[in-house]
Chain A
Amino acid sequence: MRVLRYLAKIAPQVAISLHIDYDCRKMPDFTERFQVSCSLNAIVNGRRMGVSILTGDPHDEDNRLWCTIPAAGFDQRFFREEYRELILRAAAQLREQMRQRQCSNWLIERQLQRLTNVLKDTQHLERLNQE
């Protein structure tokens, strides 16, 4: 996905992972929707830090790191709006985790900020998607 490659270029020390699977909660029609989950990892001052579906509160709908998308017309090359929201949420959670653990690192903070800025610029993302 072109957008993810671009994000890896502007924030090389932040690992973004989008995992796409069937939405098994919707049995027997589980093939109608996909479940997408996001995780973000960084190594900050020698410590591995990360956020994922496992680290978040499953009842906190506003901050959850997963969503569902329709399976029909799915294109793995296209960066969807849902992915953008998941990565933005994950970046905010990682920043909060660093603040809580009192881990400050200029490079990682800068790269997370860059990620956030690019993801908030929807026109830029649209251009990347179309190219």
Chain B
Amino acid sequence: MLALDVMRFFRHIAPHVAISVSRNMDDRRALLNALSDQISEHYEANYPDGEEWDHPLAGDDRLDIHVSVIASGCLFSSYNTIKLRLPSEPETTGPLVDVVYKMIRLSLIRVRWEVSLAVEDSLMCCQLDRLIDLLANLDQLRQEVEVWKRASQPES
């Protein structure tokens, strides 16, 4: 399952949800990165007994996940940054990709929560719920993407 195919599938089923995943390497995000580090330090200082995240994929590279929707005329967005050990070449399958999908799902849940608290927009809630449900089961997501790819290919 190619990550690009999954993003295209998401755009097909939820065209009014913007999801962007990008490698955070530039200095323009320095302020956000510093804030993110500060929050982590604060968390570690105040919750010393908390479980450490010793995931095998943990590293110093940053990956940004942005989710935005417009519901009832208001813009809702979520920004997440996750520290991972990223390969030099982008991976399309494997545990790293699964972690990214899980992070996207968390961002979607957060936006869905904010939308439902602030406004009533059934179209946006439906699109967000569909994505959240799909990302709950990655095996099923892979199957659905394959079916969609086959169905959307022009007949030869």
Contacts and interface: CB of A to CB of B under 8 A. Distances in A.
A15 B11 CA distance: 19
A99 B30 CA distance: 35
A43 to B, nearest CB: 5
Contacts of A8: 72-74
B73 A7 contact: yes
Interface in B115-156: 121, 123-124
Interface in A20-53: 41-48
B97 interface: no
B28 to A, nearest CB: 16
Question: Chain B: interface secondary structure?
Answer: mixed
Interface residues of A, number: 21
Interface in B68-106: 68-75
21 contacts: A4-B73, A8-B73, A9-B73, A11-B73, A12-B73, A12-B121, A12-B124, A13-B16, A15-B70, A15-B74, A42-B70, A43-B70, A45-B15, A46-B11, A46-B14, A46-B15, A46-B17, A46-B18, A48-B18, A48-B68, A107-B15
Interface of A: 4, 7-9, 11-16, 41-48, 105, 107-108
Given A8-B72, A9-B72, A45-B11, 20 more contacts: A9-B73, A12-B70, A12-B73, A12-B121, A12-B124, A13-B16, A13-B124, A14-B70, A14-B73, A15-B70, A15-B73, A41-B75, A43-B15, A43-B16, A43-B18, A45-B15, A46-B7, A46-B17, A105-B15, A108-B16
